[in-house]
Amino acid sequence: MHGYFITAFATVVNTFVNARTTADSAAIVYSIEIVFTVSWGALLPATIIEPLTLTPVIVVGCAFVVAGNVISVARALFTSLRKERSGA
């Protein structure tokens, strides 16, 4: 039953925030959604959700997601800075 309320709350917040953010920011948040899901699944008490056991595969997968996002953002930042310095 809690899942319905959590989903409804998340949908309302999602709709509100998406109207006030850029596409780049939204893409970053959506791409690391699995990291948030695993974190909440591991940290929330068992009375709210079914507990999640963190396995090495889950941790490595989350690390890959975070690393991919860091690389992507860093690459875009460096490209932007390079264009700015060259006067383009």
Tell me: the pLDDT tens digits for 6-60? 788 888 988 888 888 887 777 777 777 777 777 777 777 766 667 778 889 988 9
Q: What is the pTM of this model?
A: 0.54
Report the candidate in 68, 54, 62, 6 with the shortest Cα–Cα distance to residue 36: 62
pLDDT of 62 higher than 70 = yes
Where exactly are the structural domains of the chain? 23-86
- Say how many CA atoms lie within 13 Å of 20 toward its Cβ: 5
